Amino acid sequence: MSVLVRLGGLVADAAPGLPLRATAYTVDRDVAVPMPDGVALLGDH
């Protein structure tokens, strides 16, 4: 995880008064979610 991403996460948590995260986290990009009509939507988890 890059330093800028980590810093951005800390700022995003601190802005609304949330506690700062003690552990790092990962984001899975482009996770396919199947829809009933057969189309797969991509999202981040």
pTM greater than 0.85 (yes/no): no
pLDDT single digits (tens) 17-43: 777 666 677 889 999 999 999 999 999
Cα angle 17, 2, 22 (rounded to 5 degrees) comes to 40
16-43 per-residue burial string, b: 16 or more CB within 10 A, e: under 16: eeeeeeeeeeeeeeeeeeeeeeeeeeee
Predicted confidence (pLDDT) at residue 1 exceeds the cutoff of 70: no
Whether the Cβ atoms of residue 26 and residue 42 lie closer than 8 Å to each other: no
- The pLDDT score that the predictor gives to residue 5 is 80
Whether the Cβ atoms of residue 43 and residue 33 lie closer than 8 Å to each other: yes
